[in-house]
Amino acid sequence: MAIKFSGEFEVAKTPEEVYDFLTDPQKFAPLLPDYVGMTVQDATHFMVKVNVGISYIKGAADVKMELAQAERPTRAQYKGQGTVAGGYASILAGFDLSPTGNGTKVNWHGESQIFGRLMSMAGGLVDPLAKKNIKKLIDGLQGALS
């Protein structure tokens, strides 16, 4: 099952400041919903751990992330894959930045695919939960950048 997401927001910081925040996992990863911890491997790779749960299926997700595109100060894109409560997930998330008269417009977009037991058991609950968590993350990013 593929879950697609996108949107935009504006902040009063420069594109360089926003880019620097979005490409530093130490700054943005703690904003992930149900964040547990993170291990940085190098400048473009890190492992993030979050708690996941739908109904009676609960556990931790270990996701290997890579900063796959880094074009300062206009674009940052992440790719990730990992294990999620008896299944597997892949994630693609990108941020396109453009200057505005008094800050930066952030266009965000991505896609997540989940396979395995979690999808077969949770079915229709996954999409609403994913959208709720994406909204929490974007609200957190906006707050941190304001």
pTM of the model: 0.89
H helix intervals, the chain: 15-22, 25-28, 117-122, 126-145
Q: Which domain holds residue 85?
A: 2-145
CATH number of the domain encompassing residue 125: 3.30.530.20
Q: Check pLDDT > 70 for residue 127.
A: yes
Q: Check pLDDT > 70 for residue 140.
A: yes
d(CA 91, CA 113): 7
pLDDT tens digits for range 9-65: 999 999 999 999 999 999 999 999 889 999 999 999 999 999 876 666 677 889 999
pLDDT tens digits for range 50-76: 987 666 667 788 999 999 999 999 999
Q: How many independent structural domains does the chain possess? A: 1
